[in-house]
Chain A
Amino acid sequence: MGLLGTGILKGLGVTLRHFIDTYAEDLKYILNKSGVQQPRPLRRQSPKARGLVTVEYPRERLPLPENFRYVPFLVYDTEKQDDKCTSCGICAKVCPPQCIWIVRTEDPVTKRPVPQPKEFYIDTTICMNCGYCAEFCPFDAIKMDHDYELSYYPHQEPHARLVQDKAELTKPDTYHASIHPTDWHRELEDRAAEEAKKKAAAEAKAKADAAKAAGGSAAPGAAGAKPATPAAAATTSKPAPPKAEDKPADAAGEASDQ
Chain B
Amino acid sequence: MAEETTPPTSAEPAASKPAVPARPAAAAGGAKPTAAAKPAGHAAPKGPPLATLTPELAQLQQQFGESVIAPAPYVGVLVNDLGKLREVMTYVRDQLGFDMLANATAVDYIKEGYIEVVYHPQRSKGGEPITLKVRVPRGNDPVAPTEVAVPSLVPVYAGAEFQEREIYDMFGVRFEGHPDLRRILTWEGFYGWPLRKDWREPYYEGDTKPFESRWPGGHHQLAEERVPWQDNVNYPPGFDPLNFQANPDAGLYDSMLGGVPGVEVEPNGQAQRSPQPKGVGASVPVLDRNYNNLADDEELQTDQIIVNMGPQHPSTHGVLRMVVKLDGETVTDLKLVLGYLHRNHEKIGERNTWLHNIPYTDRLDYICGIANELGYVITVEKMMGIKPTERAEYLRVIMTELTRIESHFWAIGFLLNDLGAFYTPALYFITERDLILDLFESVTGSRLMCNYMRFGGVSRDLTEDQIMRARELAFERIPRKIDELEQLLTDNEIIKARTIGVGYLPAERSINYSLTGPCLRAAGVPYDIRRVDPYSIYDRFDFDIPVFYGADVYDRYRVRVAEMRQSLRIVQQALNQLDQTKPGDIQAGKKAYNHRVPAGQAYGRVETPKGELGFYLVSDGGQNAYRYHVRSSSFINLNSLKEMTVGQKVADAVVILGSLDIVLGEVDR
A-B contact pairs, 8 of them (CB 8 A): A7-B493, A14-B488, A67-B445, A102-B218, A129-B446, A256-B592, A256-B594, A257-B594
Is the interface on chain A under 10, 10 to 19, 20 to 34, or 35 or more residues?
Answer: 35 or more
Say whether B443 contacts A101, CB under 8 Å. no
Q: What 15 additional pairs, Cβ within 8 angstroms, besides A8-B492, A67-B442, A257-B596? A: A7-B492, A7-B493, A11-B487, A47-B435, A48-B477, A53-B431, A89-B216, A92-B218, A94-B210, A100-B215, A101-B213, A101-B220, A119-B220, A131-B445, A132-B359
Say whether B593 contacts A90, CB under 8 Å. yes
Q: A15-B488, A89-B216, A104-B217 are in contact. Are A253 and B594 (CB under 8 A)?
A: yes
Q: A4-B493, A7-B492, A67-B444 are in contact. Are A98 and B214 (CB under 8 A)?
A: yes
User: Could you say which residues of chain B place their CB within 8 Å of the CB of A135?
Assistant: 459
A94→B357 CA distance, assembly (Å): 11
Say whether B488 contacts A98, CB under 8 Å. no
Min CB–CB distance B449 → chain A (angstroms): 7
Min CB–CB distance B428 → chain A (angstroms): 7
A38→B358 CA distance, assembly (Å): 38
Say whether B216 contacts A93, CB under 8 Å. no
Binary contact track A1-27/B, C-beta < 8 Å → 1, others 0: 010111110110111001000000000
Does A68 count as interface, using CB distance less than 8 angstroms?
yes
Say whether A128 contacts B217, CB under 8 Å. no
Does B484 count as interface, using CB distance less than 8 angstroms?
yes
Does A121 count as interface, using CB distance less than 8 angstroms?
yes
Q: A67-B441, A119-B218, A135-B459 are in contact. Are A96 and B356 (CB under 8 A)?
A: yes
Say whether A132 contacts B355, CB under 8 Å. yes
Say whether B441 contacts A100, CB under 8 Å. no
Does B460 count as interface, using CB distance less than 8 angstroms?
yes
A128→B448 CA distance, assembly (Å): 12
Does A45 count as interface, using CB distance less than 8 angstroms?
yes
Binary contact track A98-137/B, C-beta < 8 Å → 1, others 0: 1011111000000001000001010100001111100110
Binary contact track A243-258/B, C-beta < 8 Å → 1, others 0: 0000000000110110
Say whether A93 contacts B210, CB under 8 Å. yes
Name the CB-closest residue of A to B435: A47
User: Could you say which residues of chain B place their CB within 8 Å of the CB of A136?
Assistant: 591, 593
Select the stretch in B29-37, B108-116, B468-476 that faces chain A: B468-476
Min CB–CB distance B435 → chain A (angstroms): 6
The interface centre, meaning the residue of B215, B434, B435, B591 with most chain A CB atoms within 10 A of its CB, is B215
Does B141 count as interface, using CB distance less than 8 angstroms?
no
Say whether A67 contacts B359, CB under 8 Å. no
Q: A13-B487, A45-B438 are in contact. Are A257 and B595 (CB under 8 A)?
A: yes
The interface centre, meaning the residue of B459, B487, B496, B594 with most chain A CB atoms within 10 A of its CB, is B594
Name the CB-closest residue of A to B481: A47
Binary contact track B156-194/A, C-beta < 8 Å → 1, others 0: 000000000000000000000000000000000000000
Say whether A93 contacts B487, CB under 8 Å. no
Name the CB-closest residue of A to B485: A14
A14→B488 CA distance, assembly (Å): 6
Does B424 count as interface, using CB distance less than 8 angstroms?
yes
A102→B217 CA distance, assembly (Å): 6
A6→B492 CA distance, assembly (Å): 8
Say whether B216 contacts A113, CB under 8 Å. yes
Does B219 count as interface, using CB distance less than 8 angstroms?
yes
Say whether A65 contacts B592, CB under 8 Å. no
Name the CB-closest residue of A to B451: A130
Binary contact track B575-608/A, C-beta < 8 Å → 1, others 0: 0000000000000001111111000000000000
Does A87 count as interface, using CB distance less than 8 angstroms?
yes
Does B491 count as interface, using CB distance less than 8 angstroms?
yes
